[in-house]
Structure 1
């Protein structure tokens, strides 16, 4: 029995060799408020279709790993309460117990690999948290990038993280970090993290060829395409740095730690930017969806 249930549209696209782009579901359950979460989920899927690919939003619904959600399932997930936030460590338990969970970057990569999907669009990846030298708080997303053969298109790692350490860990794990269209590494809400990217590519076709070359060489893992937020939507790093610092101090003052840190920081930054961070988040996700669809379209033209 297959552990993966494909939607009709995703199954048809894969059978016919059409491009497919995986999407995570934590942006629906943990990233955006209602009803905006459902509206944005639909916009992301529509953007991928407009750019020639089939979207495959991924979630565990009542124990079933669903790759591609029907609209009724999107509505259910957007309104559901107490949805688990799934990564590599707890994904199988959620499925075994018949519960509902939304997939993070790592869990989405696992499901995409199982379904045979090679490209994934998200907002930003997890990474090394600030203070990790004492907390040892490092996202499973980094290890998954070194394991699963999926090209992940993101606006870099989340800017609340320790970006230099995140870049170092990715290098150690052998994960290609490719900036799209610029030499500097983007930092989620900002176009530059103040760090030079290890690699640069300007052409989706070249990114697709690099992805395929890894498979031909027998290299494990995927690649991270760091796609900068559109200029008109960015919040410059000089503005974001003190805001992030304030939010992190507030988290420390309130004793927030572990899995609760990221959602707290994102909510606090939303408040401190008077909603601009959320608007930027939506803009960058849509921008990543466009690039991911183009890479996926190039991939299906290459020999497997």
Structure 2
């Protein structure tokens, strides 16, 4: 999988120097908020991490490449572009093989952060067990990822 990953130089340097790196998801940018607040919010989150001495690593899939740390242009692309797929863990191989874009959910962000060596991930919220799950089996992939992936998740909700 590492053959399909691009780590932003700032993030790579921080990881090599054992500095704090915080992963951020991209679904909130493309699916959770309206333009231009989505881009402003993403940049504010990154700025707050920097103020505290950390290095932000917003994670996404662009053109079939797992991106660990987005440029300003990539953030804007995710904020403005319609039709970017919401990418759960099961979608990663298809997005890579098809060279498509994907906004990473909590589960996918954890997976990619772990592959990159990032140990901390901050998010606005995680998925759970949905109403009537005993009939629908509608259970978020986030729960299984939390149980199996060695990344600390700090969640507001």
Q: TM-score range by the shorter chain?
A: over 0.9
What does the per-residue CA deviation read over 1:226-248, in whole Å, with 9 as the maximum and x for residues that have no partner? xxxxxxxxxxxxxxxxxxxxxxx
Task: Could you tell me which runs of 5 or more consecutive residues in structure 2 were left unpaired when the two chains were aligned.
Answer: none
Report deviation, 1:3.
2.3
Report deviation, 1:71.
0.7
Q: Find the counterpart in structure 2 of residue 39 from structure 1.
A: 40
Q: Report the TM-score when normalising by structure 1.
A: 0.51
Richer in strand (by share) = 2
Q: Find the counterpart in structure 2 of residue 120 from structure 1.
A: 121
Q: Distance in 1 between matches of 2:128 and 2:146?
A: 11
Structure 1 stretches (4+) deviating beyond 6 angstroms?
A: none
What is the CA RMSD across the aligned residues, in angstroms?
0.9
Q: Find the counterpart in structure 2 of residue 71 from structure 1.
A: 72
Report deviation, 1:2.
2.3
Q: Find the counterpart in structure 1 of residue 87 from structure 2.
A: 86
Secondary structure of the residue aligned to 2:89 is: coil
Q: Find the counterpart in structure 2 of residue 6 from structure 1.
A: 7
Q: Distance in 1 between matches of 2:28 and 2:82?
A: 14
Number of residues paired by the alignment?
Answer: 156
Q: Find the counterpart in structure 2 of residue 95 from structure 1.
A: 96
Q: Report the TM-score when normalising by structure 2.
A: 0.97
Report deviation, 1:114.
0.4
Q: Find the counterpart in structure 2 of residue 136 from structure 1.
A: 137
Report deviation, 1:147.
1.1
CA contact (8 A) 1:4 1:114 kept: no
Q: Which protein, 1 or 2, shows the higher relative CO under an 8 Å CA cutoff with sep ≥ 6?
A: 2
Secondary structure of the residue aligned to 1:2 is: helix
Secondary structure of the residue aligned to 1:85 is: strand
Q: Distance in 2 between matches of 1:97 and 1:135?
A: 30
Larger Rg: 1
Q: Find the counterpart in structure 2 of residue 50 from structure 1.
A: 51
CA contact (8 A) 1:120 1:152 kept: yes
Secondary structure of the residue aligned to 2:90 is: coil
Q: Find the counterpart in structure 1 of residue 19 from structure 2.
A: 18
Secondary structure of the residue aligned to 2:70 is: coil
